Amino acid sequence: MNHDEMIRHARQVLSDNDRGTYTVPTHGLYPFQWNWDSALSALGFAHYDEPRAWLEIETLLAHQWDDGMVPHIIFHQPDDGYFPGPDVWSTGREVPTTGITQPAVAGFAVRRIFDRARDRALAEEKARAMLPKIHAWHRWFYRCRDPQGTGLVAIVHPWESGRDNSADWDAAFERVPTEGVGSFTRRDTSHANPAHRPTDEQYKRYIWLVQKFRSLGWDTSKMHDASPFLVVDPGFNAILIRACEDTADLAARLGMEEIAAESRAMAEKGIEALETLWHEPLGQYVCYDRAIGAPIESPSVGGILTAFAPIPHHRAAALVRRIETLAKSCNYLIPSHDPTHAAFDGPCYWRGPVWLIVNYMVADGLARAGQGEIVPRIIGDCLRLIETSGFAEYHDPITAEPCGGPHFTWTAAMVIEILNTCEMAA
């Protein structure tokens, strides 16, 4: 496939998954709108249809809760192909949503689409309308997920991280009970190979947490202290910090001074706090289990995704060395878990496979930090994977096997973004 063919194919994936005002990640496995999928997929649309790109994020933000949270799934239309559906979440919204969130990448996406927009008037109109909403979401994060004011937010459910079944959560997840979880039928394993998906035991715990939060009436100010699962994820925080930084920059340019100042302050505090997650022996950042007050020494890509935030230069350089080490034990960068570690599982979801969105964010951050030499390798591996195995949800970093769902929206969007962004595809 040459680059033009790849782009044509990728656009076809986006168009097949387009439901008019939002995209689904892939038909069947994920039949609704997902939060960070939409924000990143908008980057793909922006290269050939700016109004459609803005609309994708606009639809997402239209379902923001009054407290500021932007939910992780919006169940626009009934579909019994997914579990747990709206009846399990029972959040009482007119258009049903889940009651947890996902990585706050929308602020980054808005700024990037704004910067490149050919229709300047439209971009300014959309950014002006969206920034206060995005800012309210960021404020919600620091208010409800960092009640002690540490500068770092915690997730209360593995699904919030976007890295659903990462080995990072294993030990902390053991503390989530399974009592009282009734029987249920999973739907994911009928759309994708069960070996690529989480276990039934993990699913029971996912549901236990949903039931717990439901019993709190979805009061998001209570969830942090009530959750037995409370983890500070460096990648998740890095995305939020980057989004605050981008919001600050864009707000300043649009004369939205208050948003700019508050966003800048949140980003600065976050960057300083991120340093506490650095793990010298592993040479990367690691998660922190806030429920027991201990680091989680798990070598996952969550600690490398921190490159997306404006971390100090010597840390970015160290992350490059870390990626070079990982490259010795796989054929395609960046594995979501260290292939030499016991928990690594090449084709299983977030326990080994390569995800294009992660590669993109890491590459973007390293390029900004002046560590761009490794970028062609990271981006080149994305394109080799697509050429070999198509627009899969994720790929085995050793064999390139396409895994999870096929015909995947954000995978396709990343290909369009990469191929249109000469500094990356070079």
DSSP letter at 289 equals: E
CB 77 to ligand GLC: min, Å: 16
**Under DSSP, is residue 291 helix (H, G, I), strand (E, B) or coil?**
coil
Query: Residues near 232 by Cβ (< 8 Å), separated by ≥ 6?
Result: 152, 153, 154, 155, 277, 287, 288, 289, 290
Helices (H), 254-331: 257-274, 313-327
**Widest distance between CA atoms in the chain:** 55
> Do 383 and 6 form a contact (C-beta atoms < 8 A)?
yes
Residue at 113: amino acid letter: I
How far is Cα 336 from Cα 167, in angstroms, rounded to an integer?
10
> Do 418 and 424 form a contact (C-beta atoms < 8 A)?
yes
**CA torsion angle for 114, 9, 347, 36 (degrees, to 10)?**
20
18 forms bridges with which residues in the sheet? 23
231 forms bridges with which residues in the sheet? 155, 289
CB count, 10 Å around CB of 274? 23
Task: Report the residue number, 77 or 340, with the smaller CB distance to ligand GLC.
Answer: 77
CB 30 to ligand GLC: min, Å: 5
For 90: left if phi > 0, alpha if psi spans -120 to 50, otherwise beta; the answer is left
Residues that bind ligand GLC in the complex, under the rule CB under 6 A: 25, 30, 34, 36-37, 162, 164
Q: Pick the closest to residue 56 from 97, 15, 116, 102 (CA basis).
A: 15
CB 229 to ligand GLC: min, Å: 16
CB 36 to ligand GLC: min, Å: 6
Task: Report the residue number, 166 or 263, with the smaller CB distance to ligand GLC.
Answer: 166
Task: Report the residue number, 235 or 310, with the smaller CB distance to ligand GLC.
Answer: 235
Task: Report the residue number, 40 or 248, with the smaller CB distance to ligand GLC.
Answer: 40
Catalytic site residues?
164, 393
Where do the DSSP E strands lie in 245-368? 278-279, 284-285, 287-289, 294-296
CB 356 to ligand GLC: min, Å: 12
Q: From the CA atom positions of the chain, what is the Rg in Å?
A: 20
Task: Report the residue number, 89 or 278, with the smaller CB distance to ligand GLC.
Answer: 89
- Whether the CA torsion 258, 259, 261, 262 is positive or negative: it is positive
CB 34 to ligand GLC: min, Å: 4
Task: Report the residue number, 114 or 344, with the smaller CB distance to ligand GLC.
Answer: 344
CB 159 to ligand GLC: min, Å: 6
CB 325 to ligand GLC: min, Å: 25
Bond before 334 cis per omega within 30 degrees: yes
> Do 105 and 40 form a contact (C-beta atoms < 8 A)?
yes
DSSP letter at 30 equals: B
DSSP letter at 81 equals: T
Task: Report the residue number, 126 or 163, with the smaller CB distance to ligand GLC.
Answer: 163
Q: Pick the closest to residue 362 from 303, 314, 425, 406 (CA basis).
A: 303
How far is Cα 148 from Cα 150, in angstroms, rounded to an integer?
6
Task: Report the residue number, 79 or 164, with the smaller CB distance to ligand GLC.
Answer: 164
